[in-house]
Amino acid sequence: MGTTLDFCTAGESHGRQLTAIIIGLPAGLTVEAGAIDRELARRQCGYGRGGRMQIESDEVLITSGMRHGRTLGSPLALTIGNRDWPNWEQEMAVAPPGHSFASQRMVSVPRPGHADLAGAAKFGHPDMRNVLERASARETAARVAVGAICRQLLSEFGIGMHSCVVNIGGVAAEVPQRPDDEFWTKVEGSDVRCGNETAADEMHTAIDQAGARGDTVGGEFEVHVSGLPPGLGSNGTWQERLDARLAAAVMSIPAIKSVEIGLGKQVADRPGSQVHDPIEAGDPGDSWPFSRPTNNAGGIEGGISNGEPIVVRGAMKPIPTLTQPLPSVALPSLKPSPAHAERSDVCAVPAASVVGEAMVAFVVAQAMCEKFGGDSLVDMQAACEAYWQRLRQLWQPRAEGV
Ligand code: EPS
The pLDDT of residue 399 is 52
The pLDDT of residue 396 is 72
- Ligand 1 atom nearest to 56, measured from its CA: 17
Instruction: Reduce the DSSP state of residue 225 to 3 states and report it.
Output: strand
Say yes or no to pLDDT of 5 above 60.
yes
Please give the distance, rounded to the nearest whole angstrom, from the Cα atom of residue 172 to the centre of ligand 1. 25
Strand residues in 198-247 grouped as ranges (E): 219-226
Say yes or no to pLDDT of 377 above 60.
yes
Its pTM stands at 0.97
**Percent of the chain clearing pLDDT 70 (strictly above):** 98
The pLDDT of residue 316 is 98
What are the helix and strand counts (H, E) for the chain?
A: 10, 17
C-beta 39 within 6 A of ligand 1: no
Domain ranges of the chain: 6-94+108-393
The pLDDT of residue 286 is 85
Say yes or no to pLDDT of 34 above 90.
yes
- The burial class, CB within 10 Å (0-12 / 13-18 / 19+), for 35 is middle
**Residues contacting 14, CB < 8 A, separation 6+:** 82, 84, 85, 87, 88, 91, 92, 133, 138
- The burial class, CB within 10 Å (0-12 / 13-18 / 19+), for 388 is exposed
Say yes or no to pLDDT of 155 above 90.
yes
Q: With the CA atoms of 254, 257, 260 and 263 taken in that order, what torsion angle do they form, in degrees rounded to the nearest 10?
A: -130
Query: What average pLDDT score do residues 156-169 get?
Result: 98
The pLDDT of residue 318 is 98
**Residues contacting 389, CB < 8 A, separation 6+:** 287
**304-339 pLDDT, tens per residue?**
999 999 999 999 999 999 999 999 999 999 999 999
**Residues contacting 266, CB < 8 A, separation 6+:** none
- Among the listed residues 82, 136, 126, 83, the one whose alpha carbon sits nearest the alpha carbon of residue 106: 126
Say yes or no to pLDDT of 400 above 60.
no
The pLDDT of residue 105 is 94
- DSSP 8-class letter at 269: G
Tell me the pLDDT band of 373, cut-offs 50, 70 and 90.
confident
Say yes or no to pLDDT of 24 above 90.
yes
Indicate the top mutation candidate among 9, 12, 13 to test ligand 1's pocket, ranked by most ligand atoms within 8 A of CB: 13
The pLDDT of residue 67 is 98
Atom 1 in ligand 1: residue holding the nearest Cα: 136
C-beta 146 within 6 A of ligand 1: no
For the domain spanning 6-94+108-393, the CATH number is 3.60.150.10
The pLDDT of residue 394 is 86
Tell me the pLDDT band of 393, cut-offs 50, 70 and 90.
confident
The CA–CA distances, whole Å, from 195 to 35, 146, 198 equal: 23, 26, 9
**Percent of the chain clearing pLDDT 90 (strictly above):** 91
C-beta 343 within 6 A of ligand 1: yes
The pLDDT of residue 182 is 96
- DSSP 8-class letter at 27: B
C-beta 137 within 6 A of ligand 1: yes
Instruction: Reduce the DSSP state of residue 21 to 3 states and report it.
Output: strand
- The burial class, CB within 10 Å (0-12 / 13-18 / 19+), for 73 is middle
The pLDDT of residue 397 is 66
The CA–CA distances, whole Å, from 274 to 267, 311, 323 equal: 9, 18, 45
**48-87 pLDDT, tens per residue?**
998 889 898 999 999 999 999 999 999 999 999 999 999 9
C-beta 128 within 6 A of ligand 1: no
C-beta 105 within 6 A of ligand 1: no
**186-244 pLDDT, tens per residue?**
999 999 999 999 999 999 999 999 999 999 999 999 999 999 999 999 999 999 999 99
The rounded distance, in Å, linking the Cα atoms of 280 and 153 is 31
Tell me the average pLDDT of the chain: 95
Atom 20 in ligand 1: residue holding the nearest Cα: 136
Say yes or no to pLDDT of 342 above 80.
yes
**106-132 pLDDT, tens per residue?**
999 999 999 999 999 999 999 999 999
Query: What average pLDDT score do residues 138-146 get?
Result: 98
